[in-house]
């Protein structure tokens, strides 16, 4: 069973009088339980690809399948439901709701899903402890460092145990020790729960943990390497 | 419904994010609502006073006359029942107050001058709480019985006629055969009225005394019934209709005094217009506040949508925020109104401007009236129109494309 399948994706942006091919006839298949690192120089199309997989952006051409279901032609509401129930996100640009505390941010997705309060409260505390934020549960984003905010975002992405996690530069702003901690957490989820990870990163450390590295350039895949578990 | 809690939490926190803006908006809503209710209470107080005076001059919420009396209010148009029959009919009917009278045009003459007046022959015991004259405030004394031989006139008329308590005047009118009917009276009392015109127009005498003078035996020109609430006299109207047969005309006060009757309707409409006008001023601030609030939050709205929140939830969140703002503002506004109106219910003395007010038939003391239905109207209008005004900014927020919103640079 494939977790993610992209077929012949194209996405062109217009910048001034120039057409930029963010995705250029890109095809990619990721099996269930995959642990993939998308890597490219800046502007290579990683974020654009993650957005297409997550149903956040419609490609100009091509098809996207999640767990065998075609999603690029779903309605907005169906896509929202898909993202809510099946995918955990760490965004590159902006991740936390400023008026909610760390704990409430982590609970947010579960709350919208309708998880009972006691249940989600416990899960939120557990996961925050796992990412090393014990004691900071009641801080709002503005009261935390960039790295701490990043870890809250990661905690939220994985707390409800989605089948697929799409993480855009999850280790940006993190020191090496914390990065290692997060990647070990990802690896554990991947191995014990079969969670599929697609991580966009040019961090060497992240690549070290990945089972497969997909290198991109100008919206195309230039290299696709399977590597043994580190 | 499950999401209502998270939506409310977000709305509530966002509301207090920009303290200053929220405080200013709350201030505006509170003052607006206060103004709506306060002005309405003043207006209602004024109208009530005007109408009460007007009705007490007539007086009577429902009145019975000879069918021709309205066109020709003279002694020839007597009610075709004797006063004894009237008492037997109306007495047991259980009205809160009723009375029968003689009311005819007459000329009053003193040693110095004469004036045209409305002469009322009444039963002073029965009418104590019905007419506008406060018996205890009368200079001299008020009438004591139906066959009292004195007259009571207004201060103003006494000045005009250059007469006073104890002096004699002559009243002249017609009997049913169109012959002159006149009689000398001693002025026994001078009354004071809120409305100056009443002091010049009305002259009170005993009913029996007038019946004798006008040679009408046991007959009267009108029967009047007072109800509980002058705004609604339908029950009394129906009851009176059931009591009398043809040959008489039964009218509500609104039909007899069309000026006051129309005024009552116009004032109810005016209250609504006033409330809406203030709201329109408020709504600009409200919509502007929401547009700003949404604009500042484009990225997090994008984030919530990207995480799988439905556009409807975003819409709901903004609407809840707006409703919270309105409800708090309404609460403060209502409280302010209550706090300012309650101490004034004893009356606001307008004697400085009273000269002008009395021309409209208004009293010189204004009693603000806090009516539940006016307060409810103001609150409901603000809530409903506020909801409608918030729809557009809330709708726009819910239509954002998540990715465009989340990557927006500020
Ligand atoms: N909304 C947009 N409008 C115009 N051009 C865009 C837009 N989004 C992306 N692009 C362009 O598309 C190309 C791919 O961008 P993308 O964000 O996918 O790259 P990336 O690999 O994520 O880069 P980075 O490592 O800097 O995050 C870039 O050249 C970028 O400038
Ligand atoms: Mg990127």
Write the ipTM. 0.94
What integer pLDDT is reported at residue B88 of this predicted model? 79
Can you name the residues that pair with A150 across neighbouring β-strands? none
Q: Is B22 on the interface with A (CB under 8 A)?
A: no
Structure tokens at A192: 């014990």
What integer pLDDT is reported at residue B176 of this predicted model? 85
Average pLDDT of the residues in A136-151: 93
For the entire predicted model, the pTM comes to 0.75
- Cross-chain residue pair A93–B306, CB shorter than 8 Å: no
pLDDT digits 0-9 by tens, B318-354: 999 999 999 999 999 999 999 998 888 777 776 655 5
- Alpha carbon B307 to chain centroid distance? 57
Nearest to A59 by CA among A89, A83, A94, A25: A25
Q: Which residue of A has its CA nearest to B11?
A: A99
- State what percent of residues in chain A have pLDDT above 90: 81
pLDDT in tens, chain B (410 residues): 668 888 999 999 999 988 898 999 999 999 999 998 998 888 888 877 777 666 656 567 888 888 888 888 888 888 888 888 778 777 887 777 888 899 889 999 988 888 899 899 999 888 887 777 888 888 889 989 888 999 999 988 998 889 988 899 999 998 888 888 889 999 999 998 877 778 888 999 999 898 889 888 888 888 888 877 777 778 878 777 777 777 888 888 777 776 777 777 777 788 888 888 888 888 888 888 889 888 989 999 999 999 999 999 999 999 999 999 999 999 999 999 999 988 887 777 766 555 555 545 444 677 888 888 889 988 998 999 999 999 999 999 999 999 888 887 76
- Cross-chain residue pair A112–B309, CB shorter than 8 Å: yes
Q: Are A26 and A6 a contacting pair, CB within 8 Å?
A: yes
Task: List pocket residues of ligand 1, CB cut-off 6 Å.
Answer: A 13, 15, 20, 22, 40, 42-48, 92
Q: Is B311 on the interface with A (CB under 8 A)?
A: yes
Nearest to A228 by CA among A35, A40, A38, A2: A35
Cβ-nearest to A84 among B300, B307, B407: B307
Q: Which residues of B touch A85 (CB under 8 A)?
A: 308
Cβ-nearest to B307 among A89, A93, A114: A89
Query: Given a cut of 80, is residue A229 above it in pLDDT?
Result: no
| Residue nearest to ligand 1 atom 2, measured at CA | A13
- Cross-chain residue pair B307–A93, CB shorter than 8 Å: no
Cβ-nearest to B10 among A56, A93, A99: A99
Q: Is A100 on the interface with B (CB under 8 A)?
A: yes
Q: Which residues of A touch B10 (CB under 8 A)?
A: 97, 99-100
Query: Given a cut of 70, is residue A20 above it in pLDDT?
Result: yes
| Residue nearest to ligand 1 atom 24, measured at CA | A42
* Domains by residue range for chain A, with CATH: 2-226 (3.40.50.300)
Nearest to B287 by CA among B158, B392, B182: B392
Q: Which residues of B touch A94 (CB under 8 A)?
A: 299-300, 302-303, 406-407
Query: Given a cut of 50, is residue A42 above it in pLDDT?
Result: yes
**CB < 8 Å from B in window 132-171 of A:** none
Q: Which residue of A has its CA nearest to B305?
A: A80
Sign of the Cα torsion B163, B164, B165, B166 reads negative
Q: Which residue of A has its CA nearest to B7?
A: A112
- Cross-chain residue pair A112–B10, CB shorter than 8 Å: no
- Cross-chain residue pair B10–A97, CB shorter than 8 Å: yes
CB pairs under 8 A between A and B: 68
Cβ-nearest to A97 among B3, B304, B402: B304
Pairing of strands B222-226, B97-109: antiparallel
| Residue nearest to ligand 1 atom 28, measured at CA | A43
């Amino acid at each position: 069973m494939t977790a993610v399948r992209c077929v012949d994706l194209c996405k062109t942006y217009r910048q001034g009088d120039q057409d930029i091919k963010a995705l250029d006839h890109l095809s990619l298949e990721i099996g269930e339980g995959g642990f993939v690192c998308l890597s490219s120089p800046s502007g290579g199309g990683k974020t654009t690809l993650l957005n297409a997989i997550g149903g956040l952006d419609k490609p100009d051409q091509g098809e996207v399948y999640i767990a065998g279901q075609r999603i690029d032609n779903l309605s907005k509401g169906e896509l929202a439901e898909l993202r809510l129930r099946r995918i955990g996100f760490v965004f590159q640009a902006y991740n936390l709701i400023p008026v909610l505390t760390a704990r409430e941010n982590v609970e947010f997705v579960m709350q919208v899903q309708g998880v009972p309060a006691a249940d989600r409260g416990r899960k939120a505390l557990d996961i925050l402890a796992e990412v090393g934020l014990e004691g900071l549960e009641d801080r709002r984003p503005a009261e935390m460092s960039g790295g701490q905010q990043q870890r809250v975002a990661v905690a939220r992405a994985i707390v409800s145990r989605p089948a697929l996690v799409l993480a855009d530069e999850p280790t940006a702003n993190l020191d090496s020790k914390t990065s290692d901690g997060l990647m070990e957490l990802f690896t554990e989820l991947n191995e014990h729960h079969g969670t599929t990870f697609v991580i966009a990163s040019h961090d060497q450390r992240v690549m070290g943990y990945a089972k497969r590295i997909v290198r991109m350039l100008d919206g195309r895949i230039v290299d696709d390497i399977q590597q043994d578990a580190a | 419904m499950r999401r209502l809690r998270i939506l409310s939490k977000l709305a509530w926190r966002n509301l207090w994010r920009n303290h200053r803006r929220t405080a200013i908006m709350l201030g505006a809503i509170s003052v607006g609502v206060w103004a709506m209710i306060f002005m309405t209470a003043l207006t209602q107080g004024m109208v009530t006073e005007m109408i009460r005076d007007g009705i007490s001059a007539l007086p009577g919420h429902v009145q019975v006359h000879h069918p021709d009396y309205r066109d020709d209010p003279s002694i020839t148009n007597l009610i075709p029942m004797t006063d004894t029959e009237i008492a037997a009919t109306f007495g047991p009917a259980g009205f809160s107050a009723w009375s029968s009278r003689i009311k005819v045009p007459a000329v009053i003459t003193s040693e110095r001058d004469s004036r045209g007046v409305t002469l009322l022959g009444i039963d002073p015991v029965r009418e104590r709480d019905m007419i506008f004259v406060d018996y205890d405030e009368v200079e001299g004394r008020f009438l004591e019985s139906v066959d009292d031989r004195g007259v009571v006139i207004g201060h103003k008329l006494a000045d005009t006629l250059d007469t006073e308590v104890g002096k004699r005047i002559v009243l002249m009118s017609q009997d049913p055969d169109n012959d002159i009917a006149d009689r000398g009276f001693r002025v026994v009392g001078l009354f004071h009225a809120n409305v100056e015109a009443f002091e010049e127009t009305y002259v009170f005498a005993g009913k029996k005394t007038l019946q004798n003078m006008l040679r009408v035996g046991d007959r009267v020109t009108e029967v009047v019934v007072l109800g509980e609430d002058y705004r609604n006299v339908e029950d009394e109207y129906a009851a009176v209709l059931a009591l009398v047969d043809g040959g008489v005309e039964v009218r509500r006060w609104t039909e007899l005094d069309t000026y006051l009757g129309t005024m009552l309707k116009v004032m109810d409409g005016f209250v609504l217009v006033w409330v809406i006008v203030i709201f329109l001023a408020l709504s600009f601030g409200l919509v502007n506040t929401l547009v700003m609030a949404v604009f500042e939050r484009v990225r997090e709205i994008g984030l919530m949508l990207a995480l799988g929140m439905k556009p409807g939830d975003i819409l709901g969140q903004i609407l809840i925020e707006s409703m919270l703002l309105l409800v708090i503002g309404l609460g403060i506004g209502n409280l302010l109104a209550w706090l300012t109106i309650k101490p004034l219910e004893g009356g606001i003395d307008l004697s400085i401007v009273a000269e002008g007010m009395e021309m409209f038939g208004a009293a010189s003391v204004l009693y603000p009236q806090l009516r539940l239905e006016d307060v409810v109207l103001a609150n409901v209008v603000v809530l409903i129109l506020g909801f409608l005004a918030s729809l557009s900014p809330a709708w726009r927020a819910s239509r954002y494309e998540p990715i465009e919103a989340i990557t927006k640079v500020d």
